Chain A
């Protein structure tokens, strides 16, 4: 399989559209998945942002340095697209919580997770989506988020705890 660097080189050298399409196909699931988590399950908004992210990536492809993984670079573009839109647009009202059920007798499903993510602060959601969802290191996530590594670690811990409570339908005790 052709590696990402070779495909990027083909796009830059001759505007090879097939090579760029291959890059989109290869990374679309990861970018859309990240954005769905950031958008707390709003799939339509996430896919719009994913399209914008790939278009931005196409325009800026020459700035990608082979040192970083292309997937990490794409995630950074997607995160910035989401953050920029979140700054401009007001936060959507979180969906109504599902009727509480004891956590022990049910399997937590992915859509439960997406719903619960809307109950987190944006910073917590971003840190969780990047580190747990994409398995980036804390250092990589910190670079994308523009925050110190220690801050990212505490955001992840706090976000996880809050998510556990939300998924277990326990009442919030702290902000």
Chain B
């Protein structure tokens, strides 16, 4: 069995280079962290949903008042459903835009 050529060993054996602050230097040169666009979109969608609710709720209340008892109209489930619909709309929009941003 022949011993390995020391020249080949030298060529193959690159010594390990200690980091010595190299990683920190690279990290310091990265662009500033990007913000998660979902948080901003979620906030905007929430505001839009609230504005929409404020604009349409009186009309909806008037139209429903003719058909339904007043006690039911003012019940928490109806108000909660508006909030849920607004939140769902906001979340769906942000997820859609967030997914696109990542691609």
Interface on A for B, CB 8 Å cutoff? 12-15, 17, 20-21, 24-25, 28-30, 32-34, 36-37, 47, 50-51, 54-55, 58, 108, 110, 113, 128, 132-135, 160, 163-164, 167
* 26 A-B pairs whose Cβ atoms sit less than 8 Å apart in the complex: A12-B102, A13-B102, A15-B33, A21-B23, A21-B26, A25-B23, A29-B17, A29-B19, A30-B14, A33-B14, A34-B14, A37-B14, A47-B22, A54-B26, A55-B26, A108-B6, A110-B14, A110-B15, A113-B10, A128-B11, A132-B11, A132-B12, A133-B12, A133-B14, A134-B14, A135-B12
Q: Which residues of B contact A50 (CB under 8 A)?
A: 22
Asked if B12 and A24 sit within 8 Å, CB to CB, the answer is no
Tell me the interface secondary structure of chain A in the complex: helix
5 more A-B contacts (CB under 8 A) besides A29-B17, A29-B19, A58-B30? A28-B17, A29-B18, A47-B22, A108-B10, A132-B11
Known: A28-B17, A29-B16, A29-B17. A51 touches B10 (CB 8 A): no
| B-side contacts of A24, CB under 8 Å | 22-23, 26-27
Q: Contacting B26 at CB < 8 Å: which of A13, A14, A51?
A: A51
Interface size class of B (residues with CB under 8 A): 20 to 34
From B22, which residue of chain A is reached at the shortest CB distance? A28
The answer to whether B30 touches A55, judged by C-beta atoms less than 8 angstroms apart, is yes
